[in-house]
Structure 1
Amino acid sequence: MSSHIVGSHALTKHMESNILKTSQEAKNARLQNPMVIDATVGQLNSENGTLFRYLAVDRQLKELNDQEMYVYAPVNGSKNFSEGVIDWVFGKHKESILKSFMVNVIPTTGGSGALSNTIYNFNDFGQKVLIPNYFWTPYENIAEEANLGVETFRMYDDEYRFNVDDFERKAKELSARQGRLFFLMNDPCNNPTGLCLTTDQWRQLIAVLNEIAARDIPVILLHDIAYIDFQMKPEDQSRDIFTAYLDLDPRILAVIAFSGSKTFSMYGFRIGAQIGLSKSKQVMEDFKRVGDYSVRARFSSVSRPAMSVIGKIFATPELNVGFKAELAEARSILEKRIALFQSCADLEGLKYLPYGGGFFIGVETKNCRIFEDLVADGVYVIAMPGLIRIALSSVNLNDIPRLVKAIKKNV
C-alpha cells in the first residue's frame, strides 16, 4: 500500500518534452522581440503570421443552426462525416478498398484521440509499440499513459533511404519476444522529418507484417496520416500508397488515424477519425466493440460544430471543390517556404533530411545544447534526440534566410 496521493502507476509521469509549452514560450518571446523566429508548432500560418483559415470552413461555421452547433454529436458520426471521411481519405482508391475490406469509422477527438484509443485497446500492458527513431514525441506519452513502452528502429539507412531492413529486423525481434506486433507509422509527410514513403516501400513494410501474421501473431498497423493533404505531389497521386493495403493478410487490423485539425485548420475543435480496416469479420467486430466503448469512457463524443462543418464540405460538391482550391493554396504557401529553405540551406552547406511534404523539415545534429544555442540567437525550434524539427508551416518567407544561417551556425 502506498501513502502517496498519486497512484503508483502515475508516479513516474513527467513531461520531458512539451511541444505546446515550448511553442508558448516562443510566442511570448516574439511578443517581447518581433525579430524572434518561431518555428515550433505544427500549425499553418499565412505570410502575415496569422492562422491560415479556409473561407469554406468559416462560412459553414457561421451558418450552422442550433442542432448542428449545440447538441451532442452522434457517437458513430453523422452520415455525411463518416461516409465522407472514407471518400476523402481513400480518394480514387475507395472502391477497391471497400471491395477488399470491411471498414468502420469512429469519430475521435482529433487524430490524437484515434491514436490513443488504438494504442490502448490493441496491446497488452507492459508491451512495446514499434516506431521509427525519429517520431512525434507525444507518441511516447500516449504509450506510457496506456502502460506501454516504445521500441524504435532506424528510420534511415546510410544513404538516407527509408530503412526497411532495420524495420524488418526489429519487427521480427519484437513480435517474437512479446507475441504481438503493434506498428505505428506517421506517413506521408512524417512529423518530424518530412519523409514520404513510396507505394513500393509500403508494399515492403506490409510484406513483413504479413510474414509475422502468418505465424499466428496478432499484428496491428496504426497509420497516422495527419498531414496527408500536404504532400508535394499532384492531388490525384496523393492516395496511391493505399493500393499497398490490398496485400494485407486477412488477420491484420489496420487503423488509420485521420486529423481534421490539420486538413481543415480546425485545431481547437479537436476532430478526427479512427478508421478500421480488416478482411476479417471478427477483427472488425472487435475493433468496433472496443472502440465504441473507449469513446464513451474517454470523451463521450466529439465536437458537433466541427463534425457538422466537415460533413457539409465532404457531402456538398460545390463546397468540396471550393475547399480543395483553398487547400491547394495552402500547399503552395508551404511549397514556397520549403523551396526557399532548401535553396538557402544548399548555399550555406546545411544538410537536411529528405522532404516529401508536410509542415516540418528535419536537420540532424550532435549538439546537445542546440535548443539553448538557437534561443540565444532568437530562434525557437523543437529539439529531439539527434534532430531539430523546424516547422516551416509557421515561418514566413522573410525569416527563412536568417533561420537557416542560425541553424548552420549552431547545428
Structure 2
Amino acid sequence: MFEALQEQPKDKILALMQMYRDDPRMTKIDLGVGVYKNADGHTPIMRAVKTAEQQWWNREDTKTYVGLAGDPAFNDAMVDLVLSDSVMRDNVASIATPGGTGAVRQGFELIRMASSKAVIWVSDPTWPNHISILKYLGMPTRTYRYFNAQTGTVNFEGMRQDLSEAKPGDVVLLHGCCHNPTGANLTMDQWGQLVTLMQDKDLKPMIDIAYQGFGDGLDEDAAATRLVASSLPETLIAASCSKNFGIYRERTGILMAVAQGESVKMAQDNMAFLNRQNYSFPPDHGARLVTLILSDDNLRADWQAELKDVRNGMLRLRTALAGELKRLTNSDRFDFLANHRGMFSRLGLTTDQVETLRSDHAIYMVGDSRINIAGLNDDTIPVLAKAIVKVAS
C-alpha cells in the first residue's frame, strides 16, 4: 500500500527553520519562523496565561470531553472579543478548533459542503497554507492582486479589478488585520468600498484574523471584520489565539459563521458535524485559559497591558529598521516598513538577494523576502539594514 504514496512538497518555512538550526555561524539571525519572540529570541508565556494556568490547576476536576463545538463560555468570549456588539450573538454559529489552522480548514470544509462549485478568491500573496489546504481539498481557487512590491503598499485598484470578475456565491478570503506575509493592510475606506463590491456581486467573505491585537489594538484590529460581518448576510471568520495569547502549542482557535434566521442553526449543526468527522471533540486547555482571562477583569487587564507592550515593541522595531535603512540609503525606499502592521513585512527583494543574505550574512528569511519583525532586536537591526543595502544595491 505505502509504496503507492508520492513524496509531498516540503514546507518552505519548516525547511528554512532546519537550515537555520544546522547553521554553525554564531552571528546568524532568524527572521523566518512565524512566532513572536522577545529581544532575547524567546517566546515567553504571558503573565495572565501563567496565572490562569495556576488557577485552573487548582479548579480542574475532570478531563472528560467538552461538547463537539467546544466549551460554550469560550465560544461566547471569543465571539465577543472579535465581533463585540457588531452583530447579534444569536446570529453567530461557532465551534472551537485546534488553532487558527483548524478553523481555516473547517471553514473551507463548510464552504465545500454548502457550495462545492464556489470559487475561493485568495490574495496574491497569502499565507502559503491557505493555498496548500485548498489544493488538498480540491477546491477551485483564483487569486486577486493585493500587494505592490515596488511601493510596499496594497494594490487596491488591482484587487477591485480582479474581484469584479467573481461570480455570485464565490468566496473572498480576506485577512482581518496584519496581512501575512506582507504586513500591508487595507484602510477602513477601502474596506468600505470592498463591502459595497461584495454586496453588489453577492460575494461571500471568509476572514482569517490571526493577529488581533498585534497591529493597532484589539478593537482597531477587529474593526474591518466587524464592518464586514455587520454589512453582509453571511460571513465566515477563522480566529486564532496562538499569537495574541502566546499559546501556540495549545492549538486554540475558533470558527464563526454569521448568518440569518434558520441558517444559523443549520451552520451550527454542520460545523459540529465537521468537528466530529475530523477530530471529534476540540482541545480544551488553551480555550479554558482564554476563557478565564477574558472573563476576569484583573487577568484581562494584565493580558491587554502585556499585549500592548508586545505590539508597541514591534512598532518600535519597524520604525527603527525603516529609519536605519533610510539613513544608509538616503532614500524613502523602505519607509513602508514603518506603516506595515503585525509580525511580518515583505522587503521587496529578489529570491537571489534573499539567498545571498542567507549564504553571505547568515540572515534567514522566507524566499519571497518576508521577514518576522519580532525576530529583530536593537543589536540586529543595524546588521540587517547594512546587509539589505549591500545585496540590494
Contact 1:221–1:255 (CA under 8 A) maintained in structure 2:
yes
Q: Is it true that 1:199 corresponds to 2:188 in the alignment? A: yes
Q: Secondary structure at the match of 1:288?
A: helix
Give structure 1 regions of 4+ aligned residues with deviation exceeding 6 angstroms. none
Contact 1:353–1:361 (CA under 8 A) maintained in structure 2:
no
**Aligned match for 1:314, one of 294, 315, 324:** 294
Q: Determine the C-alpha separation between the residues in 1 that align with 2:194 and 2:348.
A: 25
Q: Determine the C-alpha separation between the residues in 2 that align with 1:339 and 1:259.
A: 26
Q: Determine the C-alpha separation between the residues in 2 that align with 1:298 and 1:334.
A: 36
Q: 1:294 to 1:286 in 2, by over 3 A?
A: same
Q: Determine the C-alpha separation between the residues in 1 that align with 2:324 and 2:61.
A: 47
Alpha-carbon offset, residue 318 of structure 1: 1.1
Q: Determine the C-alpha separation between the residues in 2 that align with 1:159 and 1:282.
A: 46
Question: Could you list the runs of 5+ residues in structure 2 that have no partner in the other structure?
Answer: none
| 2:126 paired residue number | 135
Q: 1:159 to 1:364 in 2, by over 3 A?
A: closer
Q: Is it true that 1:25 corresponds to 2:19 in the alignment? A: yes
Q: 1:44 to 1:234 in 2, by over 3 A?
A: closer
Number of positions where the alignment pairs a residue of Structure 1 with one of Structure 2: 383
| 2:280 paired residue number | 300
Q: Determine the C-alpha separation between the residues in 2 that align with 1:35 and 1:254.
A: 46
| 2:4 paired residue number | 5
Please tell me the residue identity of whatever aligns with 2:185. Answer: C
Q: Determine the C-alpha separation between the residues in 1 that align with 2:70 and 2:321.
A: 40
Contact 2:152–2:348 (CA under 8 A) maintained in structure 1:
no
Q: Secondary structure at the match of 1:272?
A: strand
Q: Determine the C-alpha separation between the residues in 2 that align with 1:261 and 1:235.
A: 15
Q: Secondary structure at the match of 1:23?
A: helix
Q: Is it true that 1:370 corresponds to 2:353 in the alignment? A: yes
| 2:251 paired residue number | 270
Q: 1:159 to 1:392 in 2, by over 3 A?
A: closer
Q: Could you report, residue by residue, the CA deviation over 1:367-389 in whole angstroms, capped at 9, with x for unpaired residues?
A: 332332121120100113xxx10
Q: 1:208 to 1:362 in 2, by over 3 A?
A: same
Alpha-carbon offset, residue 34 of structure 1: 2.4
**Aligned match for 1:260, one of 223, 231, 241:** 241
Following superposition of structure 1 onto structure 2, how do residues 10-409 of structure 1 map, counting pairs within 5 Å?
14-15=8-9, 17-29=11-23, 32-65=24-57, 67=60, 70-90=63-83, 94-98=84-88, 102-123=91-112, 128-156=119-147, 161-175=153-167, 180-213=169-202, 219-231=203-215, 233=216, 237-245=220-228, 248-250=231-233, 253-278=234-259, 280-349=260-329, 350-351=333-334, 353=336, 355-365=339-349, 367-376=350-359, 377-384=361-368, 388-409=369-390
Q: Secondary structure at the match of 2:272?
A: helix
Q: 1:318 to 1:54 in 2, by over 3 A?
A: same
Q: Determine the C-alpha separation between the residues in 1 that align with 2:340 and 2:354.
A: 25
Q: 1:95 to 1:125 in 2, by over 3 A?
A: closer
Alpha-carbon offset, residue 345 of structure 1: 1.9
Alpha-carbon offset, residue 332 of structure 1: 2.2
Q: 1:137 to 1:353 in 2, by over 3 A?
A: farther
Alpha-carbon offset, residue 96 of structure 1: 3.5
Alpha-carbon offset, residue 63 of structure 1: 3.4
Q: Determine the C-alpha separation between the residues in 1 that align with 2:66 and 2:241.
A: 15
Alpha-carbon offset, residue 184 of structure 1: 0.7
Alpha-carbon offset, residue 87 of structure 1: 1.9
**Superposition RMSD in Å:** 2.6
Taking only the aligned residue pairs, the percentage that are identical comes to 21
Contact 1:125–1:146 (CA under 8 A) maintained in structure 2:
no
